[in-house]
Amino acid sequence: MAIIFISGTSTGIGFATAVALARNGHKVYGSMRNPQKTPELQNLAERENLPIHIITMDVDNEESVKHGIGIVLQNEGYIDVLVNNAGISISGPVEELPFDSFQKMMQTNYFGTLRCIKAVLPSMRERKAGCIINNTSVAARVNADFLAGYCASKAAVEAFSESLALEVQPYNIRIAVVEPGVIATPIFSKDEIPISANYPNTKRRSAFFSASLERQIQPAVVAEVIRDIVDGKSNKFRNLAGPDALPLTSFRTSITDEDWINSVNIDDDAWVERMSQRGLNLKPYMG
């Protein structure tokens, strides 16, 4: 049994990961900003008698992170696995998206991850044992239009993670990155891409996600990948999650940067046809 801390467990991937790991016999501490507003994980844990403990914590606040992780270190003496999952997305054209939207994404997605890591790293280094799993996204490698802030924050976490992996290798601390594709989570209901008069291609990006979400790929798919890392079934640094993750990343690496950038110049009909070849029906969303 491992002692596991997971950030952002109120819904989506964090919720599914907490449940999957607890059902697999691990002791899970799941953090969220407002447990009173989102009691579903606590309720499920009580119904199934799962070893899940809820911690009130905001990854945007350094003192909150130190306090939350400090509770676990005081109770258990150590943390075997940290899963950095808390994240937000705010989409739109760079020109039109407020500057503070970019700051918020970096604050949560990148600096939130950094705060949690700095809080657990000293104890892991002293024990010469531990695993840190950072949930990023295929968007870290497939940089899409109107997702610049989100892509940048996830790419920053990946670059940071690789550097960190080199630093902590001598202390037997493992770093792993999980890259989900399009997963049906509340992040999409909170972040609809606004259609812009100045940037008409926003309707394409919005249609892509709407069609992708029709597949209803559930967060449990990502939780299984994380469980395999925790249980030692995967020793890879980068771990794709979801049926579209490999096709998306493979397509991006198969073409040049210039071809990728110029691909937005095709007309709507050609773009819809290209997406249909990948199994996505975008016509209903291109109105």
Please tell me which residue in 29, 78, 110, 150 is annotated as part of the active site. 150
Residues 156 and 44: their CA atoms lie apart, in Å, by: 34
Q: Give one word for 7, left, alpha or beta, with left for phi > 0 and alpha for psi -120 to 50.
A: beta
Residues 7 and 85: their CA atoms lie apart, in Å, by: 5
Give yes or no: 171 in active site. Answer: no
| CA-closest candidate to residue 159, choices 122, 110, 118 | 110
Q: Which residues pair with 134 in a beta bridge?
A: 84, 177
Using the Cα atoms of residue 210, residue 214, residue 218 and residue 222 in order, give the sign of their dihedral.
Answer: negative
Q: Which residues, 6+ apart, have CB-to-CB distance to 103 below 8 Å?
A: none
3-state helix, strand, coil in the chain (%, to 5): 50, 15, 35
Residues 31 and 15: their CA atoms lie apart, in Å, by: 10
Residues 27 and 52: their CA atoms lie apart, in Å, by: 6
Q: Could you give the residue numbers annotated as active site?
A: 150
